[in-house]
Structures are given as C-alpha cells and as structure tokens.
Chain A
Amino acid sequence: GIQVEQSPPDLILQEGANSTLRCNFSDSVNNLQWFHQNPWGQLINLFYIPSGTKQNGRLSATTVATERYSLLYISSSQTTDSGVYFCAVRENGGATNKLIFGTGTLLAVQP
C-alpha cells in the first residue's frame, strides 16, 4: 500500500517565525489533505490540495503530484498554531474514501 512520510517529526519555533512541513507519498494520489489536530483531538481541515497551490491567511500549501510531495507553509507563527499537523492521502483508483495518514509533525510555538 501507499506510504506517507512527514518531516520533521518535531519542530519548535519562536512566535513570529516561519516553517515548512513536508509530506512525501509513495504512489499517485487523487486526494491530499492537511489537518491540524487540536489539543482535544479534533482534526481541523486546513487544505484539500491534490495538486497546485492554495493559501489561507498565514498558511499556504503546495502539492507537486508528479514528484509525490506536498508542503505546508506556516508564516508568522503564533502559539495557537501549536499542535500536530497531519498529511493524509487517498490512493488513485477504487471506490473508497480511505485516507492514509502520515505520522504527523508536532509543532510547538513558544511565546
């Protein structure tokens, strides 16, 4: 099955710094989502981005499907950005919405 790897596994930033999180996947996908898991466990949708670039405020994401990776950019980080960021993909083909998750990046933003 498809493998999803995220890097770095952990990241500590000072408030105001910028960061880039990476997601590599081993096969072609037709769905890629970025999530932020809040301290209570809920997965918050950040981007649905199987290809191309999107921006939402201080966050932006780029997926290069042909090279099998996606990047999440966080600019001017705030303490509320702390938490775990997950990348999840859906394989091409098949009638299923099964998502395969990476192991996540744990981000800590210090004041």
Chain B
Amino acid sequence: KAGVTQTPRYLIKTRGQQVTLSCSPISGHRSVSWYQQTPGQGLQFLFEYFSETQRNKGNFPGRFSGRQFSNSRSEMNVSTLELGDSALYLCASSLDLLAGGPGNEQFFGPGTRLTVL
C-alpha cells in the first residue's frame, strides 16, 4: 500500500506570495492533519480535516488555511508569505477510529520544505 505523499517536496517563494501544498493520504484513510516544523518551535499542529470538514485548528493566523476533497486528498494554503513561514510542512493520515486503538495511528508523508526569501 502506498504511503502518504506530499507535493512539491521543495519550494522557494518570496515574501508576500502565496503557496499551496498538497497531501494524498494512504488509501482508505479519512483523517488528514498538517504540522509545521521549525527549529525554534518544533512540531506544531496546524489543522485536521475529516470528511471534507475542518475538525480542529491549531494556533496559527488566518493566512494558513486548508481543505479536504471527497477523495480525502488535502491541500493547505499560506497567503502573504512571511520569512517566518519557512519550515518543513508535514502531512499525516489515519484511518480514524474514534474508539481508539491502532486505527488512530498516524502516518506521515515526506514533507514539503518551504523557503521564503
């Protein structure tokens, strides 16, 4: 079974531009989450989507947004890029069985490394 895929793998943008990152979950997984990793802040939760609905959102400004499609693929968008948005963006998917158990195990993609100049 193919793992979580993310595109593009690397991206260079300039301040003020916007960017869209894509994530394809493992087949059959319904939940997709996004995380930002920076040297200063570590791994921080951005948001989670389930059945095309945002189920939870982290403490990030409104410039960060996302969506999920009917096939569970997800995109995140960052508008008006700032230097501090330079980071590794990681996507994770899980089957999402709310009762708990291995169905909640999350699997991560390889990430998109965004550099803002």
Contacts and interface: CB of A to CB of B under 8 A. Distances in A.
B23 interface: no
B55 to A, nearest CB: 6
A69 interface: no
B39 to A, nearest CB: 11
Interface string B102-117: 1011111111010000
B111 A31 contact: no
A98 B45 contact: yes
Interface in A27-55: 30-31, 33, 35, 40-43, 45, 48, 50
Query: Secondary structure at chain B's binding surface: helix, strand, loop or mixed?
Result: strand
A50 B88 CA distance: 27
Interface in A67-111: 86, 88, 90, 94-101, 103-104
Interface size class of B (residues with CB under 8 A): 20 to 34
A110 B101 CA distance: 37
A97 B48 contact: yes
B7 interface: no
A68 B96 CA distance: 23
Given A31-B100, A95-B98, A96-B55, A86 B109 contact: no
Contacts, number: 65
A100 B109 CA distance: 17
Contacts of B44: 101
B113 A41 contact: yes
A43 B96 contact: no
A24 to B, nearest CB: 16
B108 A97 contact: no
A43 B108 contact: yes
Contacts of A50: 100
Contact of A97 (B90, B102, B104, B111): B104
A53 to B, nearest CB: 16
B94 interface: yes
Contact of B102 (A40, A48, A95, A101): A48
A31 B43 contact: no
Nearest to A45: B107
A98 B48 CA distance: 7
